[in-house]
Amino acid sequence: MARQAILGLFDDASAAADAGDALKSAGIPESDYNFLTDVPYPEGALGEGMERHRLWVWPLLGGLVGLIVSLLIGSMSPLAVPMTIADKPILEMPPLSVICYTGALLGAILFTVVGLVLALRPNISNRLSDDRISQGMIGLLVNAGAEQGSNVTNILNEAGAVDVTNA
Amino acid sequence: MQEGKVLPAAQINRDLLRSILETPRWFWPVVSILGLVVLAATITIGIMINTGLGITGLNYKVVWGFFITNFVFWIGISHAGVMLSAILRLAKAEWRRPATRAAEVLTIFSLMTAMIMPIIHTGRPWRILYWAFPYDFARGIWPNIRPPLVWDPSAILTYLTSSTLFVLIALVPDFAVLRDRTTGWPKIVYTMLAMGWEGNPRQWKLQIIAGVLLSALILPVFVSVHSIVSWDFGMAVAIKSWHSTVFAPYFVVGAVHSGVSAVVFAMILLRWAYGWQDYIRHEHIDALGRLLIVVATGWFYFLVMEIIFGIYGLEGDELAVRALQFLPGEYGVAYNVWMIVFVGITYFLPVILWLPKAWRRNLWIMSAACISVNVGMWLERYLLFVPGQANKQFLTFTWNDYLPRWPEALIVAATFAFVSMLMLLFSRVFPLVPLYDIKEGDILRTEMQIGRRKLTATFRED
């Protein structure tokens, strides 16, 4: 069934939150609408559900990978090309720990960014948007079935939308 | 209490994107002049590589001079980014908002500049590859990981990678604003960089959590980088005055001192150049001034400790270096005079200027104090490295002092032009004050009546 994108613009967070509640009451699932803002509003301020994430797993995983890789490079390189300097052992813990420390942190940081990019699910295709959102307005983007279109438009208007546009 | 007024989002966009969407008349002439200085230095580097390091003032005895001093100086400046951005972000300090981006970007460009110094200092830059990277598996050539000279590139490259990613992640929402305001190829580029950002609650949450995670992860890198740089010297057993256990914290605190001062000066310049009086306000400079008093005093403590630790052991060679630093010059170079100048302009003069509130809010005085700190911190590194090498040692059959020549002076001067040019070019394509951070500060702001006073306050979510 064809679906259409409808964007309502609000100049007040409470009105946008009311519109979200009205959509929910009208039987539109939360996954079918999204608030669009130019600032991070405190979580739940717009009546949206709490988002769960597992971003914290990535630095742990990355740290472990970085540690293992740097441990391998740090231990294999002196063993591959042994250089005897004074009475120092070929494989020394202090330098190895410095390399491992740096490697683990690098791994953790790289994996965090990879995890973030994957979680953001980049999609650069054109979507219904409005420049007024970056000027402080709050957008409520509804992905509604064709038969729900007029109902959604009414709900947005009744909640106090400044403007409602269809894709 | 917070100052300034709450501005509409449209005006914030207009003001902070002006540097990108319009070109000020002074922009290209200034960039061209800076570019010419950089070009002159590049040609000089070419001549130096072609003819050898003999054209510099470096000699058999003093092998680490202006270039290494400048390397440590720029590594120090790079510490401002993390100090301001990561620590203040984790602490949710409200006044961080206009300062973070400029500080982070300054970190990246300072690091890039710092990395150039040891590379050209080697005389044969291509050989760096053999020393630092495990790349030639076929010939079985591996770097020797035992000296700190190999830890250095690993730590600095880690810091550079982390800082760059940190800035890019923080820029994503601003890329989206630019995407919606540009046309043609800039729009294509900003669209790619914005990665489909639309500003929904899920994206904001992930972006904020990633910011917190990266802040927490970069902080240990930040501490390790300058610690490792200090070990380049601290682990050199042969040079007496360098063999100090207090070097790591001393270098880290010194780096923060010079870095934050540089950020303050950069913010004042940006405020003046782009008319950002509503964003970079006196209260922000005032808060940074107060922070600098604490940092400067911490640095001064380590400076004194470093000297006391050096003298306390009563080792002959160490005392000889200290005598060279503090007593009238043996070789005609008055290190003692420079030491007095350095301590005066790095600690006493700026701290006196930062103490009165009215002076912290005077941008001319703050600029002078911050320039003074950075001149002093450059001198500090020079006076830490050169006398130790110039000192006459047992069984040394030749010794010399060090007098830099024009190639070194030009290259060092050009590094300042290089960083300034990169900052200006960055401001031409990316916002140097984070739009969403400023807007967030505004929506969380409110006015409270307490007794007979009306105060501006900001909500903070725990």
Contact B369, B353 (CB under 8 A): yes
Least reliable range by pLDDT among A113-122, B141-150, B240-249, B350-359 = B141-150
Q: Would you call A136 and B154 a contact, using CB atoms and an 8 Å cutoff?
A: no
User: Domains along chain A?
Assistant: 3-50+125-166 (3.30.70.120), 57-119 (no CATH)
Is the predicted pLDDT of residue B429 greater than 80, yes or no? yes
Is the predicted pLDDT of residue B320 greater than 90, yes or no? no
Tokens, residue A133 = 């959102």
- Cα gap B98→B328, rounded to integer Å: 46
B4 located within any domain? no
Length of chain B: 462
What pTM value is reported for the model? Answer: 0.90
User: Coil, strand or helix: which one is B461?
Assistant: coil
Between chain A and chain B, the number of residue pairs with CB atoms below 8 A apart is: 175
Torsion-angle region of residue B324: left (phi > 0), alpha (psi -120 to 50) or beta?
alpha
Is the predicted pLDDT of residue B139 greater than 70, yes or no? no
Q: How far is CA B164 from the centre of its chain?
A: 14
* Confidence band for B393, pLDDT divided at 50, 70 and 90: low
- Cα gap B192→B186, rounded to integer Å: 10
What is the predicted pLDDT for the residue at B358? 95
What is the predicted pLDDT for the residue at B250? 93
User: Coil, strand or helix: which one is B44?
Assistant: helix
User: Coil, strand or helix: which one is B294?
Assistant: helix
What is the predicted pLDDT for the residue at A67? 97
- Cα gap B337→B327, rounded to integer Å: 9
Residue A99 in contact with partner chain B when CB distance is under 8 A: yes
Indicate the average pLDDT of chain B: 87
Question: What is the maximum span of chain A, computed from C-alpha positions, in angstroms?
Answer: 84
- Cα gap B261→B376, rounded to integer Å: 11
DSSP E strands in A91-152: the ranges are 138-145
- Cα gap A120→B197, rounded to integer Å: 8
CA B286 → CA B6, B7, B85, B343, distances in Å? 20, 21, 17, 23
Residue A6 in contact with partner chain B when CB distance is under 8 A: no
Closest CA to A153 of A17, A27, A5: A5
Contact A160, A15 (CB under 8 A): yes
What is the predicted pLDDT for the residue at B362? 95
B188 located within any domain? yes
Average pLDDT over residues A82-103: 86
* Confidence band for B51, pLDDT divided at 50, 70 and 90: very high
- Cα gap A4→A16, rounded to integer Å: 20
B98 located within any domain? yes
Is the predicted pLDDT of residue A149 greater than 80, yes or no? no
DSSP B454: E
B127 located within any domain? yes
The radius of gyration of chain A's CA atoms, rounded to the nearest angstrom, is: 26
State the best of B82, B130, B180, B198 to mutate against chain A, taking most chain A CBs within 10 Å: B198
Is the predicted pLDDT of residue B77 greater than 80, yes or no? yes
Residue B80: other Cβ atoms inside 10 A: 27
Q: What digits encode the pLDDT tens for the residues A26-82? A: 888 888 888 999 988 888 888 887 778 888 999 999 999 999 999 998 888 888 777
Residue A82 in contact with partner chain B when CB distance is under 8 A: no
- Cα gap B89→B75, rounded to integer Å: 22
- Cα gap B203→B181, rounded to integer Å: 21
- Cα gap B285→B263, rounded to integer Å: 10
* Confidence band for B326, pLDDT divided at 50, 70 and 90: confident
Helix (H) or strand (E) segment spanning residue B436: helix B435-443
B3 located within any domain? no
Residue A92 in contact with partner chain B when CB distance is under 8 A: yes
B176 located within any domain? yes
Residues of B in contact with A55 (CB under 8 A): 206, 209-210, 213
Closest CA to B229 of B246, B248, B257: B248
ipTM over 0.85: yes
Most confident of B36-50, B200-214, B266-280, B382-396: B36-50
What is the predicted pLDDT for the residue at B441? 82
Q: Would you call B205 and A51 a contact, using CB atoms and an 8 Å cutoff?
A: yes
Q: Which residues contact residue B393 at a Cβ distance below 8 angstroms, ignoring those fewer than 6 apart?
A: B240, B317, B399
Residue B453: exposure state from Cβ atoms within 10 A (0-12, 13-18, ≥19): exposed
* CATH code assigned at B253: 1.20.1630.10
Question: Domain range for residue B349?
Answer: 9-458
State the best of A97, A106, A134 to mutate against chain B, taking most chain B CBs within 10 Å: A134
| Count: domains in chain B | 1
Q: Would you call A34 and B198 a contact, using CB atoms and an 8 Å cutoff?
A: yes
B204 located within any domain? yes
B1 located within any domain? no
Partnered with residue B299 across adjacent β-strands are none
Q: Would you call A134 and B180 a contact, using CB atoms and an 8 Å cutoff?
A: yes
Residues of A in contact with B158 (CB under 8 A): 102, 105-106, 109
Q: What digits encode the pLDDT tens for the residues B409-419? A: 999 999 999 99
